[in-house]
Amino acid sequence: MHMSNMKKITIVTGHYGTGKTNYSVNLALEAARTGEPVSIVDLDIVNPYFRTADFGRLFAEHGVTMITPDYANSNVDIPVLNFDLERIASDPGYLIVDVGGDDAGATALGRYAEAFSQYADCLDMLYVINCYRYLTKTSQEALTMMYEIEQASHMKHTGIVNNSNLGCETTVAHIESSLPFAQELARQADLPLLYTTYDDRLSPSGVGLHPVHVHVRPIWD
């Protein structure tokens, strides 16, 4: 997302393994380069392997405030959501919320739907997609997942980010092949396709592309 278009609050959702946490990390670091205060809230209480809570040192180096559930990044993964998100949202600067995968993770977001409703004009809720992940390999599957997240969170998406990738095996061809999938999903959902991300070590050609750095790697990588 170009920073000139970034709203005060960005909520990032998506299916397991779409790369939404890596996207959230990139978004936070890009926002920090503006000099404005940036906070990132880790609501990804579903998946212990890819979480923004694991990037405390990186965020500290760039002046990003990280807010996590109690026990995040510990051996006791029984999260306690003790956030005052309404207060955090009212603070100056940018707020990014990394939501757990699927409707189960979105249920946690639903606790704050009423608080966020007053920020509707300065809030984006982005649906991150990856056509190479199971259960979202077709636009219809991805659309169904999107609606399930909306139902669980009591909130509506405002845009789609195509983050289709195969991890370290991703090639330019994989990125280019994902474009029809993303465009069709955006059409069916009647939402803007903001852009297609790509690993900044690759050099795809075309319009609507946005580089991201790979910060999040699976523990087995």
For residue 71, the model assigns a pLDDT of 52
Euclidean distance between CA atoms 217 and 41, whole angstroms: 19
**DSSP at 85:** H
Which of these ranges, 44-48, 157-161, 164-168, 205-209, has the smallest mean pLDDT?
Answer: 44-48
Residue 43: pLDDT over 60: yes
Residue 48: pLDDT over 70: no
**Half-sphere exposure of residue 215, counting CA atoms within 13 Å on the CB side?**
22
Residue 95: CB atoms within 10 Å = 27
For residue 68, the model assigns a pLDDT of 80
Over range 74-89, report the average pLDDT: 66
pLDDT-derived band of residue 213, with 50, 70 and 90 as boundaries?
A: very high
Over range 148-170, report the average pLDDT: 95
For residue 205, the model assigns a pLDDT of 87
The pTM of the full predicted model, rounded to 2 decimals, is 0.91
**Structural domains in the chain?**
3-212 (3.40.50.300)
Residue 103: pLDDT over 80: no
Over range 186-203, report the average pLDDT: 97
Say if CB 210 and CB 198 are below 8 A apart: yes
Which of these ranges, 71-85, 154-168, 200-214, has the smallest mean pLDDT?
Answer: 71-85
For residue 47, the model assigns a pLDDT of 63
For residue 218, the model assigns a pLDDT of 56
Between 4 and 106, the higher pLDDT residue: 106
Count the residues in the chain. Answer: 221
Element (H, E) at 7: none
Task: Spell out the SS3 assignment of the chain.
Answer: CCHHHCCCEEEEEECCCCCHHHHHHHHHHHHHCCCCCEEEEEECCCCCCCCHHHHHHHHHHCCEEEECCECCCCCCCCCECCCCHHHHHHCCCEEEEEECCHHHHHHHHHCCHHHHHCCHHHEEEEEEECCCCCCCCCHHHHHHHHHHHHHHHCCCCCEEEECCCCHHHCCHHHHHHCHHHHHHHHHHHCCCEEEEEEECCCCCCCCCEEEECCCCCCCCC
